[in-house]
Structure 1
Amino acid sequence: MIADDSSGVRRAFTDLVQSDSRMAVVGEAANGREAVSTVIAKRPDVVLMDIEMPLMSGLDAAREILEALDQVRIIMVTTFDLDEYVYEALRIGVSGFLLKNAPADELLRGIATVHQGNAMLAPEITSRLMARFSVRRQPDPSPFANGVLTPREHEVTVLVARGLSNAEIAAELYVSRETAKTYVSRILVKLGLRDRTQLAVRAHEAGLLRTGR
């Protein structure tokens, strides 16, 4: 589903998405409120959501959608590069973001990526984004308090927040890639998070990279 207040943008995205035989556009929305109601009615797998829309911002719409339908994946589409809106979007569980002027193949690849359950942010972008904005917040260690994670899981969490892939985590800890993947999956379940990007946000906010603990 495509949510953007510009009919031209919606038309361009629709033509692009439907040029790929694996995909179909099941609905459109011109404002945030319409986006929420359309997603709930149509139940799309992936939503392309503009950040700035009338009546309700894309950020607020995404928040409502993710609270109502956990299985929907949202990609925020923005004209801003690594702004604070993007940080907040990742924090609430959005699966990634794209710039509106991104190449066509990047957009299609992004949709496929989040549909498969992965976050659509390169590790180096995630790390830079988290470092830029989380330092402005007071550390909040509560998600990691009370021994909810084992020492090894804490270690893996810090590596995820540093932007390491599963293969790089495996090399760092001298374990198999499958073991690293299992650690990450277990951590996400324990903390009730959607993906590793959201985990990176929580880790930075908790100050785990500042304390090394």
Structure 2
Amino acid sequence: MADILFFDAPEPPPFEPPLRRRLRRNSEILVALLSALLTATIAFGVALVVIALFYEGDYISFGPGGLWFGLPPDAGAGRVALSAFSAPQRLAGAFALTLLIAPAAYILLCLRKLFRLYSCGVVFSPGNAQCLKQTGLGLIAYAFAPFCANRIAILAAVGNDPSWFHLYEIQAAILGALVFVIADVMRCAHEIEAERDGFV
């Protein structure tokens, strides 16, 4: 008599609403894009710091607006060869560049974490709110970074760029404050969802 084997039928996958499925798919695309932007930002920042510290040629100079590529030193335009600065001055310049680039990299990192949560189906959670608050903090740091970099340049006698202040710094500070409020809204939504799931 032949043995009869019984196999458990596989459980059907849980139903996922089309809106949530689209959110997951779009978030995966954004995670890949943000990862590429983060990598490019870090690589660009490291390259600028290395140039500020070690470049000795004539085709990169420093003047109003920061580093100038492809233009030789020009006293009339305020551009000075990097080799004219002392090692402490170049170190201060590299630190100022790091201050300018670090907030942008931090914002991209926080947004990548947020959309990675979305791509995993996590929409309303304390983790989402925390990522948003970190993004808001990064935006506020981005707003104040030019001021700090300008003060460092003045203290190190590297230069004084009178046009360091821009409107987008105010916009970044306001956006950072708004993101903080949105994070609190996200936390409230999580509490409402938790109450709804716990209601019998």
| TM-score of Structure 1 vs Structure 2, range by shorter chain | under 0.3
TM-score by length of 1: 0.23
TM-score by length of 2: 0.24
- Higher relative contact order at CA 8 Å, sep ≥6: structure 1 or structure 2? 2
Max radius of gyration: which structure?
2
Higher helix share: 2
